[in-house]
Amino acid sequence: MKSDDGALRGRPPGRPRSAEADEAILAAATELLIERGVGQVSVEQVARRAGVTRATVYRRFPNLTALLVGAVEWEYRDADTGGLEWPDVDAMVAHWAALLAHPRDRKLMRRLYAAADDYPELLRAYADAHGRRGVEAVRATLDRAREAGELPPHVDSAVLQQMFAGAALLYVSVHPDDSGEDAIKGHFTDILRQVGYRPAASREGAHDDE
| 210 residues of the chain, pLDDT tens digit each | 333 444 444 444 444 568 899 999 999 999 999 999 999 999 999 999 999 999 999 999 999 999 999 999 999 887 755 557 899 999 999 999 998 999 999 999 999 999 999 999 999 999 888 877 788 999 999 999 999 999 999 999 999 999 999 999 999 999 999 999 999 999 999 999 999 999 976 655 554 555
Q: What does the radius of gyration of the chain's CA atoms come to, in whole angstroms?
A: 21
Query: How does pLDDT run across 40-52, given as a tens digit for each residue?
Result: 999 999 999 999 9
Q: Global pTM?
A: 0.78
Burial grade of 134 (CB within 10 A; 0-12, 13-18, 19 or more): middle
The total domain count for the chain is: 2
Nearest to 62 by CA among 125, 4, 8: 8
Taking a C-beta distance cutoff of 8 angstroms, is the pair 64, 118 a contact? no
H-state helical runs in 17-119: 19-36, 43-50, 54-60, 64-75, 89-100, 103-114
Domain residues for 24?
A: 4-75
Is residue 195 domain-shared with residue 94, that is, in the same domain? yes
Neighbours of 44 (CB within 10 A): 11
pLDDT at 106: 94
Is residue 39 domain-shared with residue 15, that is, in the same domain? yes
Using CA atoms, how far apart are residues 59 and 169, in angstroms rounded to an integer?
Answer: 35
CATH number at residue 120: 1.10.357
Is residue 67 domain-shared with residue 125, that is, in the same domain? no
Residue 138 lies in a domain: yes
Cα angle: 195, vertex 162, 111; to 5 degrees: 130
Which residue type, as a one-letter code, is found at position 187? H
Taking a C-beta distance cutoff of 8 angstroms, is the pair 34, 104 a contact? yes
3-state secondary structure of 210: coil
Residue 83 lies in a domain: no
Query: How does pLDDT run across 88-117, given as a tens digit for each residue?
Result: 999 999 999 998 999 999 999 999 999 999
pLDDT at 1: 34
Is residue 23 domain-shared with residue 50, that is, in the same domain? yes
